Amino acid sequence: MACFFRRCVALQLAEVCGLSEDVFIPLISAVPVSQKQSAADLRVSVNSLRQNGAVAADGDLQSKTQALANQRGAVVEEVSAGRGVIHFRLNRPILAQKLLEQLCSEPDGFGVKSELLRHLQGGRTLVEFSSPNIAKKFHAGHLRSTIIGNFIANLKKALGNEVIRVNYLGDWGMQFGLLGAGFERSGSQEKLRTQPLEHLSVCCAAAECDESVRSAAAEFFRRLERGEDQALALWRQFREITVDEYKRIYQRLGVHFDHYSGEAFHQHQTQNVLDELMTRGLLKTTEKGTAVVDLSGAGDLSSYATLVRSDGTSLYITRDVAAALDRKQRFGFDEMIYVTDKSQTVHFRQLFHILLAMGHQWAERCVHVAFGLVQGMSTRRGEVVFLEDVLEEARSRMLNNMRQSSTSKELEEPEQTAERVGISALIVQDFRGPLMSDYKFDWDKVLQAHGDTGVFLQYTHARLCSLLRRHARETYSCCDVSPLVDSRSVSVLQHLLRYDEVLLQSANELQPRHLVNFLLTLSHLVAVAHRELPVKGSSAAVAQARLCLFSAVRSVLANGMRILGITPVEKM
């Protein structure tokens, strides 16, 4: 409903400046509550007006502002000029009425249906994320790709896109030569049934430490590439075991995929890629016998990507080119987003370059979302290797904190609640800063009940749910919102005005921190309002209005948390 107020201000600007109101819609923004020096609700920068020709470079800003001030009506009560901005103060009862009407009638559409978002890339979005290596336990390092990719997929879906979630498994390459050779030497089918991934990890580690296995490993991978039945049967067994294990962990995280793929699926397509590159004159053979694509632009091979080794086996990037072409044909995506750590930045730059050189202009709508490393993630038993250890640690610590807390309620499923809150804590900790940044992990900070944490976010949501349950018999509507003109209520309403802007910024940058910070600020604002604006003991009209406000905030919190990949809890 922020678009209603933005439209009202745009109409006034259009009349004074002589341009279409649609010119002004994207220029108008809500004033952040934390930056309030006045009672203004919306603002527009003078520079943006000048850049769009609404105000001449040497124009009289004062006269324009005065003309706007003279036009104030029922919705906009006051217009004033600040340093480089024009401020607009909204009628408080109308602010409450319009915002809460939409949140009461269509809570799930709030923000996501704003006209501010209409110019975003729509259609079909394919997101590739998580992408662990098969035959290995889910490493803690894959947590970031999994939760970041899930956030992007959730956000795109919330904004109306059709989303395809792809898990592109590392199921091919020389590491499987090592694994296959190691298993043929020391593997046991009995141990593979009882402790599958642990046993495969031991076999692979033993092979990596034994120089004598190297040649056997290279031969096993050549057998895979030739399609030898015995080698492929072993590979399929490793893959099925791993995917079943991963699905169990994804379920704990609340993550799902529409399509499990892998490098192996595209292995047979690599020759077609190489043939097309050769036909186009893009593939060169070096003195070492490797096949490369020149990326220099000058034809001097000062920058190139290697697609085939000297022994004739393909590389990761060759299979990635084949995968991209296959996905475009199979899914017809409008945009494709890859989520991996920042060490692969050059790889994706090369991938997109090759696709464009092959004449595929849709590669311009392929994006790599890179992220930094997590440092110091460990459990009480020591340094973390596997993600499941992190999840167990989060649940265990959270359960202990809940038992010691004087505010915790008796719960029917305390372990499930502890797991959901613990995962929320991990997600919020990860999402608070720029994704490219490395950060140091600290369990004590992550699981704090107060401050800017996932635990505080869940606690705020659960507390609002508790309040609404206690007053479930009372009917409350948005008919009379006149009691919501106090400073605490107005601050909450003003912050809600920013929701569509935050979603827009999140979608443009594919960064979750904007939504995280919005939800944390909303939680702090509503915590103060809950403390200072009691429902119990207030008159019926005041109680109804406050319950309507608290119900609206609960809806926005829950919707925002779900976009982040957090399952809101109703009790804790």
Catalytic residue list: 136, 139, 142
What DSSP state is assigned to residue 565? T
Cα dihedral across residues 21, 97, 489, 548: positive or negative: negative
In sequence order, the 6+-apart residues with CB closer than 8 A to the CB of 362 are 328
Between CA 63 and CA 67, with CA 66 as vertex, the angle to 5 degrees is 85
Kindly state the tokens that stand for 184: 């043929």
Phi, psi of 101 (to 5 degrees): -60, -45
Q: What is the DSSP string of 26-92?
A: GGEEEPPGGG-SSS--EEEEHHHHHHTTSS-TT--HHHHHHHHHHT--SSEEEEEE-SSEEEEEEPH
Beta bridge partners of 304: 294
Instruction: Dig out the tokens for 431 from the structure.
Output: 């999402």
Can you spell out the DSSP letters for 107-156? GGGTTTT-GGGTTS--SEEEEE---PBTTS--BGGGHHHHHHHHHHHHHH
- Rounded Cα gap, residues 146 and 214, in angstroms: 32
How far is residue 168's CA from residue 130's CA, in Å, rounded to a whole number? 8
